[in-house]
Every structure is written in structure tokens, then in C-alpha cells.
Amino acid sequence: MNAESAVLGPTTLVRSRLADLMLAAAPHAPCLLSAPTGFGRTTALRQAAARAGPESAQLVSVAADDPGAWVRLRRRLEDARGEGRIRYVLVDCDGVASSSEAEEARAALIEDVAIWSGLIMSSQESLDEVTLRFPGSILLDRSDLAFTDEEAHAVLELLAPGSPQAPEVARIIDLSEGWVAPLVLAASRLRRVSEGPARTEAVARWLGQHGAEVAVAPWWRSLTSAQQAFLRETAMLDRLDAPACDVVRDADDSQQLLRSITRSEGLLCRDVTTDATPRWRRHRLLTAALASRGGGGSRSERLEAHQRVAEHYVERGEVESAIFHLIEAGRYQEAGEQLRDVEVHLITTGQAELALTWYSDLPPTTWASSTEHELRIGWASLWGGDTTMVRQCLARLEAWLVSSIAAELEAAQRAAVRGEVQLLSACLAGAMADTAGMIAAARSAVAAFGDDYTANSHQLAPVVVARGLLWEGRTEEA
């Protein structure tokens, strides 16, 4: 019995939501489960069979690439149908149906069984083509099988009693992305690491390094040497699409390799894109494992590849991907120019944090110019009613004002930024009906700006003071 079955058996963590979903769907259409090893497909079938009861459910296992196995299974099920006692047929596929004969035999079984009984089939293979052949079928993929945060914490508690509470293990749960295999590894590590404030941090760090290798190994071994080489060569890409992979590899067969890798459900998941180019995202632990395997080549090779693919994305107008690779290539000036172009879009689409992440990736010498962008994000957030984001922007700006970087600037430059920060703070106070705070901050802004009224904000500051005074009924002062 593997660790997954031990943890998720019906006597421990019963995932009733998943079992109920399959049992409710199967009588109406073939229900297909498609996910990588370690996501709990087999255990989900076992729990669904147990929930349905032995009198109405038959659970069978079949070698996916053996046409004869499918034929024999079909005959067995026909016999069971003749007895009139089977309502659900749950099929656990071992391996991938790579031959056309096996695919046809499987399709014949699905077509036959689905008309008289609730079929639930589990496979590590991507079943998109099966769902196209049977349009009424219901596909549950890794996102449906993924463990919720609550379930993930329950696994840690079951295997490592006394584990820290959910907020403390959030990093571990994030790394797992709903995959139970790394949760089992993390729980094992938690049992061995002594109690202390850095316990979960140490386990998360271990999982992102050594644990990633262990978790990824079974899937990695199922790949061909060409597929493994492809993933190592493209490890420096944040997303995988065929044109970008071709640029990085200086090759023209990336589309075929991506198709062959994604034929089996694994650690690449389809990314939602706005164009027609299919794109995939790696599981976080696969990215970590590739890094430990020297993915992407030497540092100079990675820099050169980042430069090539950055130019590729700039030409295609995919600004966000271009910025990522420009920063990785050390071309900070160009990254900043691209970021200015896309900043408004990021703010208006609720992605201000992404812009700030990129700013933080720029070297300290460029930080000063980023304060104006932080201010714009703060103002946009204020107009949008996101007061939490405004406070976060103000906190970062206040920290910058006392940093060594700010200390190196001229006094007039520091005063200008301080005035902008105080003005934003004043308007936030006004939005929160804190007129006293509004007046005090706006007066500080006026003092910081001095006699310079060339900028709009410099003109706005005394107006904000007057508005606050009017709200307090201090008309003469206003």
C-alpha cells in the first residue's frame, strides 16, 4: 500500500465531496478522472465504490495499453449486466493507451457501458480526446481532484499529529498545489524536525529543494530522454509555449514535444491565454526540481536565452512575459520602459501587486524612479475603494523615505516624494471620514512642497487642507 492510500483510505480522510460528485454524475454520462500520479485518483475510485456499496458498484483495474484487457473487461461487465445488480462501473487504468488498438477497445467499452450503467474511469492519461469522441462525458481533472487547503491541512495533521495551524503551514500547502504526494513528504519531515518558530519554514525550504526531487521522480522517470532534455532546456521560461520554446532551444520541434509530454496528465497544466497559442505552466515543485538538476544550462547560457526570448515576446507584443525575461536577462532599463507601458493595464485589471513585484526585482539604483509608480498604484487603489492596498503602498513609501537609497538623493527630491506621500495619506484619511488626519497630512504635504505649485499635486495639497477645514465647519480658516 502506498502512502497516498494509507492516508486517504475511507477510515481516515474521506473526501465525500468528490465521491458524491462522481456518483451523481455517472448515471447520466461517462465520468472521466484525469490527473497525475499522486493526486488521489485510485483512492477516489475506492471511496466512491465504498460509498455506493458492493451490491451496486464494481471496481476493476485494467492495463490501459492492452487491447485484450479492455475486451476481457467488456465481457465481464456484460456478464455482470446480465445479473442486473451493477449500477456503477469504476475502472482504474494503469498506464497510457498509446496504441490505436487499445484506444479503440477502450472507446468501445465506454460506448457500451455508458448506455446501461454509470461509468467512472480513472487515468493518468489526458482524456481530452476521449471527451471529444463522447461529447456528453464529464471530465474531472487535476483541479477537481486537488486537495483544498482544508483537506491538505487535515492530511498534515493525520500524518504528523500536532502540526502547526493552517496559517503557519500555508507555504507548504502552496508548494503542494493540491498534490498529496508532497504533503505526505512534508508530514514525514514535520515529524522529524524539532519544535520551534522556524519549524515550518525549514520544512517548506526542504520541500522546495530535496523534497521536490522525491515527489517529481516517478513522473520524471516516465518521460523519454528527449522529453527530459526538453524540460531542462526550457526551465528558465515562466510559461511554456511552442514558439518560445523553439527560440530558447534554437529548434523547431517544441510543439511535438509538448504534445507528447502533455498526452499524459503530469506536472504541466494548461494556462489560460488570451490568444490562440496553447501555453502550459509547470507545477511549482517541478520548477524547483529542474533548478536542482541544472535546468536552463550555465548562468551565461540562461542569460543569453532570456535575452532571446525577451526579444521574441517584445516582437509578439506580449509585454508581461517580455518584462519577466528582460529582468532575468539584466536589461533593467528596457524592463522599466515595458513596465511603464503596461502599468495602467495592470492597475485597472486588479494586478497592481504584479507591477510592484516587478519593481522589487529591479536593482536598487532604479528604485527611486519606481516611487512615482507606487504612488500611481496608491491613487488608483484609492479611486477603486481598495483602502488596504493604499495603506500597503503608503507603508512601502514610508519605508523608502528612511532607506539608504532615499538618503543619497537631494533634499528637494526627498521632500517632493514626502509631500506626495502625505497628500495620498490625507486623501485616504478623508475617504475614511478622518478629517483631523486629513487636515494634518495635507498641511504636511503643503509644507513639503513649499512654494512650488507647478505640479498638479502641489496645487491639490492646499485644496485638500481647505476641504477638510470646510468639513469641520472652520470656514474662515478654509
**Position 5 confidence tier, pLDDT thresholds 50, 70, 90:** very low
Which pLDDT value is given to residue 10?
Answer: 38
Cα distance between residue 416 and residue 395, in whole Å: 17
**Position 319 confidence tier, pLDDT thresholds 50, 70, 90:** confident
DSSP state of 240: B
Given a cut of 70, is residue 57 above it in pLDDT? yes
Kindly report the backbone phi and psi dihedral angles of residue 264, in degrees, each rounded to the nearest multiple of 5, phi listed first: -95, 135
pLDDT cut 90: percent of the chain above it: 16
Assign residue 250 a region (left: φ > 0; alpha: ψ between -120 and 50; beta: otherwise).
Answer: left
Cα distance between residue 429 and residue 381, in whole Å: 14
Which pLDDT value is given to residue 428?
Answer: 93
Is the pLDDT higher at 340 or at 300? Answer: 300
Which pLDDT value is given to residue 370?
Answer: 67
Given a cut of 60, is residue 7 above it in pLDDT? no
Cα distance between residue 305 and residue 249, in whole Å: 8
Given a cut of 70, is residue 12 above it in pLDDT? no
Q: Which tens digits make up the pLDDT trace of 116-160?
A: 668 888 888 777 667 766 777 888 888 888 888 888 888 888 888
Mean pLDDT of 380-386: 77
**Position 85 confidence tier, pLDDT thresholds 50, 70, 90:** low
Which pLDDT value is given to residue 151?
Answer: 86
Which pLDDT value is given to residue 272?
Answer: 61
Max CA separation in the chain (angstroms) = 96
Lowest mean pLDDT: which of 269-273, 397-401, 450-454? 269-273
| Alpha-carbon separation of residue 33 from 43, 51, 139, 424 (angstroms) | 12, 17, 6, 52
Average pLDDT, the chain: 82
Which pLDDT value is given to residue 11?
Answer: 38
Which pLDDT value is given to residue 6?
Answer: 35
Is the pLDDT higher at 113 or at 422? Answer: 422
pLDDT cut 70: percent of the chain above it: 88
Which pLDDT value is given to residue 56?
Answer: 83
Mean pLDDT of 60-75: 87
Locate all alpha helices (DSSP H) within 402-472, ordered by sequence: 404-407, 411-431, 435-449, 456-471
Cα distance between residue 199 and residue 359, in whole Å: 31
Given a cut of 90, is residue 438 above it in pLDDT? yes
CA-closest candidate to residue 266, choices 214, 224, 234, 222: 222
**Position 244 confidence tier, pLDDT thresholds 50, 70, 90:** very high
Lowest mean pLDDT: which of 56-65, 75-84, 326-335? 75-84
Which pLDDT value is given to residue 293?
Answer: 75
DSSP state of 264: B
Mean pLDDT of 10-15: 58
According to DSSP, the β-strands at 279-282 and 118-123 are unpaired
Kindly report the backbone phi and psi dihedral angles of residue 136, in degrees, each rounded to the nearest multiple of 5, phi listed first: -85, -5
Which pLDDT value is given to residue 300?
Answer: 85
Q: Quickly tell me which residue has 508581461 as its cell.
A: 320
**Position 14 confidence tier, pLDDT thresholds 50, 70, 90:** confident
Q: What is the pTM of this model?
A: 0.68
Kindly compute the dihedral angle of the four CA atoms of residues 400, 403, 404, 409, in this order, to the nearest 10 degrees.
Answer: 40
Mean pLDDT of 328-336: 84
Given a cut of 80, is residue 27 above it in pLDDT? yes
Given a cut of 70, is residue 274 above it in pLDDT? no
Which pLDDT value is given to residue 367?
Answer: 47
Which pLDDT value is given to residue 404?
Answer: 80
Cα distance between residue 460 and residue 442, in whole Å: 9
Given a cut of 80, is residue 470 above it in pLDDT? yes
**Position 359 confidence tier, pLDDT thresholds 50, 70, 90:** low
Helix H or strand E encompassing 475 = none
Given a cut of 90, is residue 225 above it in pLDDT? yes
Lowest mean pLDDT: which of 173-182, 199-208, 313-322, 357-366? 357-366
CA-closest candidate to residue 465, choices 405, 432, 408, 425: 425
